[in-house]
A and B are shown apart, each in its own frame.
Chain A
């Protein structure tokens, strides 16, 4: 303060040497100079705008982001799936058992499975075949039993695999690999993580492409199409065979997904493509199935449900085309499957009913339902190992226990991988697009999903398939919920250029004087405190 005044005085004395009246007035004004006040006010402006204003503006215009477990999400992609599986081996000769166990360890070393092979203590050598079948084995395990009752490797109804003595161990190992579906599991994971890549085995790829997309709820809709209700009357109630044949299977799958079964009738929908007449038999090429599906599609859907729908269409053949078949690889079939969509089959009525038609045509439930059940198996992803292993005949639409186990494994891997991809994409999107909003609800869903995904891996390592399935379902559902939540897009249409069009006319004229005055303030502070 003193320094400045002295400085001012000295300058004033220099001026006064000119001895002028007006200079005296200036002198007085200069003495009254409120430089401190002015600089202080400039500093206050700067403080309000820069220290309070900008952070406040930043905070208020910030896109809401509930904290997400990014580190855990990125950890997920570095964690491998390890499925703990018990394999019990039983042979008459303990040294054979040891040899098989050794082979199992070398075979499954480099796969997703962490196999724990051991000598079976559950059965005795003198047990009958019937008793062997009823042996209770833990969930997810397999039991290899050497028995003279079979001629080749046979997969039982439970979790038993029988093989005759003197079976080549490498063949046994290959069958075991098929039964555990190592290829299908890794293929479904690889194809999801790296689109375009897939397994070398064509059958595995075809099976994967046939499966309906993962979901926790499915609709199953059976549509009976009668194109000529005036000529042919069909007396059939689809609900009865559906309950009888499909329902037990759906009950068995209830841990995997909920299926809602519905049926409807449609009328007067004609074939667009005219079938070819081959010696009194009418034939449609399998590739022409779209000519049946397309005109149906517009009347099939219910439109209310968001869940994927598996369609089964029973097309009652028009009287003029009886009998009608699909033609595939020089074979005639009544049913064909469309991947991920469902199946179509022709129902050929008797020609007599058509012409005379005093009474209605009553179709055979089993002949309609058996292709439907087979197609349903393929669509939900039941492994087809009949090429490699003999299967013990099963008089029901339900799955064999080991098939159900492998369905569990497949669904766990599928749902887990799906959740993982969804979460990592979400995390990446959030990094790339700054306008995405994450509200608390979504944030919680993501956290829950990540925790469930980690639990899936832990449960799999312990071999707890049912728990893992439960967690994978949670992880899948919550990640889908978070990713498709509409609140994410709330601010997405507000582009940056519009933001700056609003901000620049305001901030530029305000900021320039404030920032320029900072220089003076700095000088003033330096002078005042002799810095």
Chain B
């Protein structure tokens, strides 16, 4: 089996291809029983005209080609990476969707390409990237062709993983990608899918690299059925590795064994070799399974406590005095220069005069500060602060904002859920030994070997949700109805007052609705009566009174005297019925 693989391997490398492919998996047990696994599938290509491709995904190549993309980073993440206890991830991505792209320098209409790109990617990856518009994307003034945006509300699920896997040359049938079963992937505490395309230029000669990455963090107390921090490939991914991808130049698995010094643990297979003493490397050739027996330590000691981590929260009570606080903890014994970038959406207007930067409670002046005020529905509030973080200090950046009313159509479905505010970005250069994986080179193995002094990392802070004042959404219709009613009610009397007047006149027959009804009633009665009369066969004599025969009745007016007498009599009899007797 090994021999057979070897010649396939040789045959593939021997054949001159303009593209190469490799699969790598990096596993690192974290403190408190978490296991971090990072998959990287790398395609390196020599030209950037994507008309003809053998390994590079044609659909993505077409998008890159069509929209003149020079560099592209897409991350789809679910869950929060806890820097304080987990250290640094290989790729730091905030919860939700994050995309940044740099276009070719000669691109004329960068915005058009940017929206085209996000729309195409939303179709390709089944994400909501098509909701990216000028109101939530950031364009740098220094770099004309760069765009960045994040969608913190994006839910990442299996519909994103499936198209992501389709971009791999071996799909999910062979190789490390066969470990990515959606049921298990989405069971993880944290998972992040990434697509990273960049040119790697060296002395004028460029190579183009596409890295597809997956970061997964499992809690081994959940996956191991005993009380230990045991983990294995099968427990994490539901399956072992059966076949490697025949198209890959190499498939490797790395295990960071540095935590072995404090809590010794046992691996089921002897590694092929060690890199830098503490990275166990396995060359994956055929069926492969790995499990680790990790005893539960008496005290959890985190050796991964990072030099720098962040914290972010909102202040204020109710919907008043809203404030946004970002804290940066520097545990290093040397001062560190950090760049903090806040992208605040337009519906959260911040007050620049309330911006306070303090270090250990003492107000400090930032080294540099760029502030671009936002514009309602058009532009985000952009705040970039360059700071020198004192050794072993906590630096706090706080700014106040307002809760605003939106137009009723601008509220998302389920508006009472609240509005997500994306993460801030903290860029710092820290010593390389303090970082996790680095990405100067295409492959993990090369990067683990690299020995340059410092490395720039990007920390993404937490997202948060705020509740803006939410209206009753039947309001517009109510307003229309109410306004119409008021107008109608007001109009009638005003019209009457101005065009008519009340006037006393002598009684005069006025044909109105009441009289018509009365006539109608009489007519019906007459018909009924006349029928009766016809049946009975007699008629009543009608007596006509002369005016002098009439007398005046206080309510009925002129009536016959006979009627008057009767009335008096009836009233008497009614009032004093006993009198008569």
Give me the interface of A with B, judged by CB distance under 8 Å.
15, 26, 29-30, 33-34, 38-39, 41-42, 45, 221, 229-230, 233, 235, 237-239, 260-265, 267-268, 298-299, 301-305, 357-358, 360, 502, 505-506, 508-510, 513-514, 517, 520
Contact = CB atoms under 8 A, between A and B. Distances in A.
A34 to B, nearest CB: 8
Contact of A263 (B11, B52, B63, B124): B52
Nearest to A514: B495
A222 B63 CA distance: 17
Interface string B171-189: 1011000000000000000
Contact of A45 (B171, B487, B495): B495
B503 interface: yes
B515 to A, nearest CB: 18
Given A261-B51, A265-B54, A505-B485, A510 B246 contact: no
A151 B500 CA distance: 106
29 contacts: A34-B501, A38-B498, A38-B500, A41-B499, A42-B499, A229-B246, A230-B8, A233-B11, A233-B15, A235-B15, A239-B52, A261-B51, A262-B62, A264-B54, A267-B246, A268-B170, A299-B166, A303-B62, A303-B123, A304-B120, A502-B480, A505-B484, A505-B485, A506-B487, A509-B489, A510-B488, A513-B491, A513-B495, A517-B499
Which 8 pairs from chain A and chain B are nearest by CB?
A: A509-B488, A230-B246, A264-B58, A42-B499, A302-B62, A506-B484, A505-B484, A265-B54
A162 B481 CA distance: 83
A268 B174 contact: yes
A41 B498 contact: yes
A265 B19 CA distance: 12
A513 B496 contact: yes
Interface residues of B, number: 44
Interface in B502-530: 503-504, 506
A304 B480 CA distance: 44
B51 A506 contact: no
Q: Which of B51, B66, B170, B174 is the most central at the interface, judged by chain A CB atoms within 10 Å of its CB? A: B51
B120 A303 contact: yes
B467 interface: no
A265 B247 CA distance: 12
Given A33-B503, A265-B53, A303-B62, 11 more contacts: A38-B498, A45-B495, A230-B246, A239-B52, A262-B58, A263-B53, A302-B59, A358-B7, A509-B489, A510-B488, A513-B495
Contacts of A39: 499
Contacts of A357: 11
Contacts of B499: 38-39, 41-42, 45, 517, 520
Contacts of B166: 298-299
Interface string B469-495: 000000000001100110111011001
Interface in B18-71: 51-55, 58-59, 62-63, 66
B52 A264 contact: yes
Contacts of A221: 58
B506 A303 contact: no
B169 interface: yes
Contacts of B491: 509-510, 513
Q: Which of A260, A263, A509, A520 is the most central at the interface, judged by chain B CB atoms within 10 Å of its CB? A: A509
Contacts of B55: 265
B195 to A, nearest CB: 15
Nearest to B11: A233
Contacts of A263: 51-53
A29 B380 CA distance: 70
Given A39-B499, A263-B52, A513-B496, A304 B66 contact: yes
Contact of B11 (A238, A360, A509): A360
A72 to B, nearest CB: 34
Contacts of B12: 233
Interface string B1-14: 00000011001100
Interface string B100-135: 000000000000000000001001100000000000
A301 B487 contact: no
Contacts of A506: 484, 487-488
A71 B378 CA distance: 43
Nearest to B175: A268
B52 A303 contact: no
Contacts of B174: 268
B497 to A, nearest CB: 10
Interface string B314-351: 00000000000000000000000000000000000000
A357 B495 CA distance: 99
A313 to B, nearest CB: 13
Contacts of B124: 303
